[in-house]
Structure 1
Amino acid sequence: MDAREILDKYHMNTYSRVPITLIEGKGALVYDDEGNEYVDLVAGIAVNVLGHSHPAVVEAIKEQASKLIHCSNLYYNEPQAEAARLLAETAPGDLNRVFFCNSGTESVECAIKLARKHTGRKRFIAFEGGFHGRTMGSLSATWKPEFREPFEPLVPGFEHVPYGDLEAVEKKMDDDVAGVIVEPVQGEAGIILPPEDFLRGLRELCDEYGALLIVDEVQSGMGRTGTFFAFEHDGVIPDIVCLAKGIAGGVPAGATLAREEVAASFEPGDHGSTFGGNPLACAAIVATVKTILDEDLPAEAARKGEKALRVLSDLEDDVEDVRGRGLMIGVEVGDDDTAETIRDEALKEGILVNVTSGDVIRLVPPLVIEDELLEESLEKLVEITRNAL
């Protein structure tokens, strides 16, 4: 049996997979077990910000694996110290305390617990279209009913309001709201950008009511939108920030950043993770963050994103919408079946794209993708899309 047959037989049926088996990747290219080459515009769902097998990440993993892979958080370790320092120094304001975990959903769980512990309050305001994870707390903050309903009752205290609607948020605010949790760009909802000054308005409402502003940067962070953190476009500083996906260049890792005053509410025993902050993952975090900063990849994402939107603008008269920020782009085609056809035809042409929110082609390529490769792939995608409509 090949990998597909084995996984179909033994793995739980939790994923709808594209019928190829990937075995190798270099930069923005990946290869399957039949020798086919693909331009990867999915990047592990916004994970491989440095592309595949980036030398800095590979070398960091090899070097650390030869010394110390895991020791638990009963002890200090040097890669964790360097990763914590690097993230704290990169984050604006006093977002200088870090908790390390292994995924985005864990980062959100930490944020929820920290907000409740710090404020002594129970309620949270989240947003329609929002996606924050699939564990019980993060799932409670997630909007999509088909994700939530099979697992109810979930964690009580979460209410959802329309994304971008400050008036709706204000109507729900009171002195029992622990926090407002928001994506600065909604990813799973189809790359939805908020109205101008939306995050600033949320910051003001949270300040007025004594609630915490929690920004979920799991998909939008690490330079993808043209700044290291997407919230920097709005000139606000959250109380808590959730990171994962691209933080370690493909190695499973996550982090929750918090302001000093907020983080001080946690005491030993309040929260923890066996694997979070392990030396191997933290070595990858350090290599990834340093490369993002040293090569000014947020600026590269902004520049390449503008170029990508110019190419895709040829579709504006044919599709519902073309939108994005940096290298976080969505093409809304208006029909679920058409979106799947575009994905499947792109696969045949050697391009990997992803469908989200039913009818949106999501494009989140590595930030290091070569200009020519990006442009050629998108021009081909424009042609495929026109033929599918």
Structure 2
Amino acid sequence: MSLFNVYPLFDITPVKAKDVYVYDDKGIEYLDLYGGHAVISIGHSHPKYVEAISNQVANLGFYSNSIQNPLQVALSEKLAQLSCCIEYDLFMCNSGAEANENALKLASFHTNKKKIIAFKNSFHGRTSAAVVATDDAKIIAPLNAQQEVEILPLGDLVALENALQKNDVCAVIIECIQGVGGLDESTTEFYVGIDTLCKKYGACFIADEVQSGYGRTGNFFAYQKYNVTPDIISIAKGMGNGFPVGGILIHHSIKASFGLLGTTFGGNHLACAAALTVLNVIEEEKLIENAKNMSQYFIEKAQEIPQVKRIKGRGLMLGLEFDFPIAELRKKLINNHKIFTGNAKNQYVIRILPPLTIQKKHIDSFMNALKSEL
């Protein structure tokens, strides 16, 4: 049996990783400035992370959600403390797409409506409703297309209110900083306007923090730069530092009932051990502060490179925009300098999503390599 061929692959086989470095089967060291799609938050193979997962699996790796799981309670309390989202409850699942599916489903239950509003260049996942809320027609199957979704221009409050006035919208879902789309971000006025209009017309405001959450932007969540209160917040990627885990934070105004949502693997003991360790390390090592400091340093260094036309994003969720497609440049960074970076739907943007443990010397290595190739 062969693998279903849906991924274009670089000829690199990682076998080991430590902090910001990945090592292949030939012993070659790569600087990881992509973190496996922003998944690696506290660094590869962090010793406290390895210890926590090892100890947990030695005792109990999994049991169902029909029993008491004190690890889920401890995780929700720690998450509320670090994120300051004390007016929310936690529902756990396994991935970002699943988080957004549950967010959209819950919004529909809560409002008794079914239409979704998303925005141009959005990416929310590859499943059911999440994929239709993604602005990429080629990954939407006919089965998915039956969902009612309207894609609006980012930043257009007039179009948003016109759509909400029809009173058939259950949710407005948005990445406050777009990931796959290319690091675009709108204005404070726009995000405040979404919050205001959703409350006015009885739609749920969903903040997709799957990629931007967990300190990556210099705030715990990207939306916290603005004075807004989402009804639902979706999380995943950096939440587990590589262990598959996701979830949604649900505002207390939305009430739970038995059977409303469910999952087999979501919130399992191993996932909770991983996610708790991530929060503890973020706090102990002051990684959100480090994200801010390293972001400032990165931007200062990038501004010295004349070929960089625009620096996008915040914190350690950054994009460098050029006036040429960056595919060949990325290949040269990987092949000639052993540095992982990311691409985007915007073919002119290199995405930088390193572990939050990154230091100035790593940024210097990247900048020297970039200057060399440019």
TM-score (normalised: structure 1): 0.92
Q: 1:351 aligns with which of 312, 332, 339?
A: 339
Residue 56 of structure 2 aligns to a residue in which SS?
helix
Match status 1:278 vs 2:279: no
- Give me the whole-angstrom Cα distance separating, in 2, the residues matched to 1:259 and 1:121: 18
1:5 is aligned to none
CA drift of 1:321 comes to: 2.1
Judge conservation of contact 1:137–1:155 (CA < 8 Å) in 2: no
* Corresponding residue SS for 2:65: coil
For 1:4, the equivalent position in structure 2 comes to none
Q: Aligned residue for 2:136?
A: 144
Q: Is the 8 A contact 2:124 2:133 kept in 1?
A: yes
Q: Are 1:361 and 2:350 counterparts?
A: yes
Name the residue aligned to 2:359: 370
SS at structure 2 position matched to 1:106: helix
Counterpart of 1:3?
A: none
Q: Deviation at 1:193?
A: 1.7
Q: Which moved more, 1:66-75 or 1:169-178?
A: 169-178
Correspondence for 1:226: 218
User: Given the alignment of the two structures, is residue 170 of structure 1 paired with residue 158 of structure 2, yes or no?
Assistant: no
Compute the displacement of 1:237 (Å): 1.8
Alignment partner of 1:185 is 2:172 = no
Offset at 1:363? 0.5
CA contact (8 A) 1:226 1:302 kept: yes
Partners of 1:260 and 1:51 in 2: CA distance: 33
Deviation per CA, 1:269-314: give whole Å up to 9, x if none. 2221100000001011000012112322112111111111111112
Specify the alignment match of 2:20 in structure 1: 28
| Distance 1:155-1:245 versus aligned 2 partners, 3 A rule | farther
1:306 aligns with 2:296: yes
* Equivalent residue, structure 1, for 2:196: 204
- Cα distance in 2 for partners of 1:94, 1:145 equals 38
1:1-389 pair list within 5 angstroms: 10-148=2-140, 150-174=141-165, 175-262=167-254, 264=255, 266-315=256-305, 317-336=306-325, 339-348=326-335, 349-357=337-345, 358-384=347-373, 386=374
Whole-angstrom CA distance in 2 between matches of 1:243 and 1:374: 27
CA distance in 2 between partners of 1:50 and 1:95 (Å): 26
Distance 2:257 2:359 in 1: 46
CA distance in structure 2 between the partners assigned to 1:276 and 1:382 by the alignment: 44
Given the two structures, how large is their TM-score scaled by the length of structure 2?
0.95
Q: Contact (CA 8 Å) 2:129, 2:144: kept in 1 or not?
A: no
Q: Structure 1 residue 319: deviation in Å?
A: 4.0
Deviates more, 1:12-21 or 1:190-199: 190-199
Report the more deviating stretch, 12-21 or 212-221.
12-21
User: Counterparts of 1:375 and 1:197 in 2: how far apart (Å)?
Assistant: 36
Q: Report deviation, 1:229.
A: 0.6
Q: Is the 8 A contact 1:103 1:254 kept in 2?
A: yes
**Count of aligned positions:** 371
RMSD: 1.5
Unaligned runs of 5+ in 2: none
CA contact (8 A) 2:103 2:232 kept: yes
CA distance in 2, matches of 1:367, 1:98: 24
Work out the CA distance in 2 between the residues paired with 1:27 and 1:371: 14
Contact 1:141 1:158 survives alignment (8 Å): yes
Measured against aligned partners, the alpha-carbon deviations of 1:308-356 in whole angstroms (never above 9, x if no partner) come to 11111123x42442222001111122333xx111111101211111111
Structure 1 distance, partners of 2:269, 2:263, is 13
**Conserved 8 A contact 2:135-2:151:** yes
1:331–1:360 contact (8 Å) kept in structure 2: yes
**Amino acid corresponding to residue 48 of structure 1 in structure 2:** I
Q: Write the distance in 1 (CA, Å) between the matches of 2:271 and 2:329.
A: 36
Structure 1 stretches of 5 or more lacking a match? 1-8
Aligned CA distance change for structure 1 residues 301 and 55 (closer, same or farther; 3 Å): same
Q: Matched residues, percent identical? A: 37
